[in-house]
Structure 1
Amino acid sequence: MPLFTELGSFFRASLLDPAHERAAEDPRVLRRRRLVVALTLVLGGAALGLALAIRPGDPWFYPATLGVAALWVLGAVASGPLHLGRARTRAGGQSSSVLQALILGGMLLAVFLAGAVVVGRIDWLRGPVDALLAHARFGSLPIVAAITAVNGVAEELFFRGALFAAITRRWRVVGSAALYALATVATGVPLLVLAATALGLLTGLQRRVTGGVLGPIVTHLTWSLGMLFALPWALDLWS
């Protein structure tokens, strides 16, 4: 069927067929990258756990989460070169990865919102999610949205930029997704860990295909901002 053919072509172009293969980094550069990445991962994971442990409505939540973003960005920049990347089109050419990323982010958002409709009926799953959303409910939603966007960019610069490049080529997609999920364990929200795993795998495949962070950043922002605004509605759909 034409629809399935078009979808197959889209997923091959956006997630499977690399548009650009970068040369291996100099061993000295790679050693430096791995050292900086390891240090940043430990500090950033700890800082994220502390930031999300702050009570909803506490004004310290804003600088704390911005501090986490600053750690990710500093670690990414200090580790070595970062690249925006290019996407492969279905026709075999190359283009900006923005449109593909918007579509992929929207698809992931739709899957998670559908799951949230079910989670909204299960108290022990919904409780931690409500606690996380309380920062937006009791704080300033525009400020929380801006911080969500800043953190999304920062996380992709580090996890799909610096960290991805620091891992052995064979394990980059799985390894970067696993470490990204591990960094969220300290939040104590199981569904956030699951979300980080899914998002990490999707953006990791994008990073491998495009050779850069632009596509992952756009996908991350589409998903995270969509979840921020639409998740409360999905959770309460059956209430």
Structure 2
Amino acid sequence: MFYWATFGLAGVWICGALISGPLHLGSAWTRSGRSNARPVVQALALATLLVVVFCAGAVAISRIPALREPVDSLLNHARYGSLLVVFLIVVVNGIGEELYFRGALFAALGRRYAVILSTIIYTLTTIGAGVPLLVLAAAVLGLLTGLQRRVTGGILGPIVLHIGWSGSMLFLLPAILDALR
């Protein structure tokens, strides 16, 4: 049920974003001063930084059962299910969330409060999962992807950042938590 529900939710985000209007990929500045480069390197660097911070946090949560158990429950989909399918879900859902929250919703909110409001709304959507640390992760990821959207003017940077972080967490977090048992 987890697989179908998550793919279904990604479909809702993607359809909502696509019918909202045009979505722009955005651009980044290069060292040579060009501004028409795609924001891939910057997003990957931010994803790497975020992965390091969250892996360090995993050491702390591994010692607190009330925080570790909901995370373990969520990660069990990857541990005991099909890792390939879960990875595909992570990629499709990451793309869908960014198309919607940093694409359509961000554009609809207006320039002044788009980063903070899209972050709050994105964070609130994760509460239903029942994993407190997922809510915290959504707040941090939402803020960084929102800032990435503002800086680059498009959705490519947030998508790369989101997939880089969530894909890394999928593979690293279970190993870290298992090693610290």
1:192-214: CA deviation from partner (whole Å, max 9, x where unpaired): 00000000010101100111000
1:164-213: CA deviation from partner (whole Å, max 9, x where unpaired): 00113111111111100000011111100000000001010110011100
**Paired residues for 1:112-191 under 5 Å:** 112-191=54-133
CA distance, structure 2, for counterparts of residue 183 and residue 115 of structure 1: 22
The residue that corresponds to 1:203 in the other structure is 145
The residue that corresponds to 1:52 in the other structure is none
Which residue among 190, 194, 198 is the counterpart of 2:136?
194
How much has 1:132 moved relative to structure 2?
A: 0.6
SS at match of 2:117: helix
The letter for the 1-side match of 2:112 is R
The letter for the 1-side match of 2:88 is A
CA distance, structure 1, for counterparts of residue 159 and residue 50 of structure 2: 14
The letter for the 2-side match of 1:77 is L
**Paired residues for 1:218-233 under 5 Å:** 218-233=160-175
Report 1 or 2 for greater relative contact order, CA contacts < 8 Å, sequence distance ≥ 6. Answer: 2
CA distance, structure 1, for counterparts of residue 75 and residue 107 of structure 2: 33
**Paired residues for 1:1-239 under 5 Å:** 60-94=1-35, 95-239=37-181
Work out whether residues 114 and 234 of structure 1, in 8 Å CA contact, stay in contact via their aligned partners in 2. no
Paired residues in the alignment total 180
The letter for the 1-side match of 2:4 is P
The letter for the 2-side match of 1:133 is L
The residue that corresponds to 1:4 in the other structure is none
Length-normalised TM-score, structure 1: 0.73
Q: CA RMSD in A?
A: 1.1
The structure with the larger Rg is 1
- Which 4+ runs in 1 deviate beyond 6 A? none
Length-normalised TM-score, structure 2: 0.96
SS at match of 1:169: coil
Work out whether residues 177 and 204 of structure 1, in 8 Å CA contact, stay in contact via their aligned partners in 2. yes
CA distance, structure 1, for counterparts of residue 68 and residue 2 of structure 2: 22
Work out whether residues 207 and 215 of structure 1, in 8 Å CA contact, stay in contact via their aligned partners in 2. yes
Q: Which runs of 5+ in 2 are unaligned?
A: none
Work out whether residues 117 and 237 of structure 1, in 8 Å CA contact, stay in contact via their aligned partners in 2. no
Identity %: 60
